[in-house]
Amino acid sequence: MSIRIGIMSFAHLHAEGYIQNLRAIPGVEMIGLADDDPQRGEHFARLFGAHRFRSYEELLEAKPDGVVICAENSRHLPLVKLAAETGAHILCEKPLATTVQDAEEIVRTCRQAGVLLMTAFPMRFSTPLLEVKSRLDGGELGQVYCFNSSNQGELPKRHRAWFVDKALAGGGAIMDHTVHLVDIMRWYLGSEVNEVYAVANRIFHADEVDVETGGMVWVTFENGVFATIDCSWSRPPYWPSWGGLSFEMVTERGAVWVDAFRQNLTVFTHTLQRPYWAFWGSDPNQAMLEDFVQAIRAQRPPRVSGEDGLRAVEVVEAAYQSVQSGQPVRLQRRAL
């Protein structure tokens, strides 16, 4: 039996990749998409030759096994509620929500409805990052001491205007680029964050946006590991790619430098008149969507949970508190 999946909203640009990832999975039927912005929905339905449902309700009436939610960050919760009610399993774009309260409600809603909830943290499926995880677990790196990490990018505004709209995105660079690295470190360490310190500014693109565009977040874990995350939108639009995710992990035996997107060709072309990086590594989104589908098929938890999404949002919320107060913030973890 094929697994039937629909996409709810194309607000997030990742939907453009996910639709193709879904179609590449044998045994998956991509039933179509719905979008509260009919023009956007129509545009992408045409572009990908996909069926467009006139509403989310109509999409859900088609009884998909699972849905992928790619709405604006602050609009995840209502779509999760709609979908969970109908028993559809959910893959939700990151960040899970813009507030801890919403994230918690998303997790509880899915639990009560008995549907699977996966947070879209594709870096858990990145082959370089998996390789590091297996070396860590194999013991060859010894005890981890700290991380010096970055998830910098260009201003995402040219992809979608709402990314820099505080009401829809929940914030700026901190909201956008903190959660992946927090999640990777929680996954590597098996420990939770207990303190957050953050600084931010708005110097990049100061005349274009009113959210923070520069940020550095400091997290300390219960096991004593400390880490910095540079989440800035510091890459100029003529950088060879959108940005990247990299870190230095320091252990008792030295350090490991990891760049999740280094498997590139450097391409020089007359059309662009500047070099760009063409990625030839394995697509982590593909592996993530395959895990979602397999989780539905086997009725097992996906490799990234809703709780993982919530924990990352807790760090983001604490980071904004710290920016306000200028002091480190003790993290209050929600019991689930």
Partner 1 sequence: MRVGIAGVGFMGSTHAAAWAETDATIVGFVAETVEEAQPIAQQYGAKVFAEYAAMLEEVDVVDICTPTHLHVPMILEAAARGKHVICEKPLALSTEDALKAVQACRQAGVHLFVAHVVRFFPEYALAKQLIDQGQIGRIATLRLLRGSYRPKKPVGNWFLDEKKSGGILMDLMIHDLDYARWVAGEVESVFARKVSAVHQGSPVDYGLVILKHRNGALSHVAGAWAYPPPTFRTRFELSGDRGMIEFDSQATSPIESLIIKSHAEAPDVGLPSSPVRESPYTTEIKEFYAALKESKTPRVTAEDGLAAVQIAAAAVQSAQSGQVIYLESLGEGRL
Q: Tokens for 179? A: 């959660």
Sheet-wide strand order for 3-8: 28-34, 3-8, 66-69, 89-92, 117-119
Pick the binder of partner 1 from 30, 71, 84, 216 (CB under 8 A).
216
> Could you please report the per-residue DSSP string of 121-134?
-GGGG-HHHHHHHH
The Cα 303–Cα 117 span in angstroms is 10
The site for partner 1, by CB under 8 A, has a size of 37
Enumerate residues 249-308 that contact partner 1 by CB under 8 A: 250-255
DSSP 241: S
Please state the closest distance from residue 279 (CB atom) to partner 1, in A: 19
Judged by CB under 8 A, does residue 20 bind partner 1? no
Is 70 exposed, middle or buried (CB count within 10 Å of its CB: 0-12, 13-18, 19+)?
A: buried
Judged by CB under 8 A, does residue 226 bind partner 1? yes
Pick the binder of partner 1 from 39, 114, 236, 271 (CB under 8 A).
236
Q: Which secondary-structure segment (H or E) carries 69?
A: strand 66-69
Judged by CB under 8 A, does residue 327 bind partner 1? yes
Please state the closest distance from residue 123 (CB atom) to partner 1, in A: 20
β-partners of residue 143 are none
Judged by CB under 8 A, does residue 197 bind partner 1? yes
Pick the binder of partner 1 from 234, 246, 286, 305 (CB under 8 A).
234
Q: Tokens for 111? A: 């639990």
Stretch that binds partner 1, among 158-166, 194-202, 267-275, 303-311 (CB under 8 A): 194-202
Is residue 25 classed as helix, strand or coil in its secondary structure?
coil
Is residue 41 classed as helix, strand or coil in its secondary structure?
helix
Pick the binder of partner 1 from 119, 228, 285, 286 (CB under 8 A).
228
Judged by CB under 8 A, does residue 138 bind partner 1? no
β-partners of residue 67 are 6, 90
Give the residues lining the site for partner 1 (CB under 8 A): 145-146, 148, 150, 195, 197, 199-201, 203-206, 213-216, 218, 220, 224, 226, 228, 230, 232, 234-236, 248, 250-255, 326-328
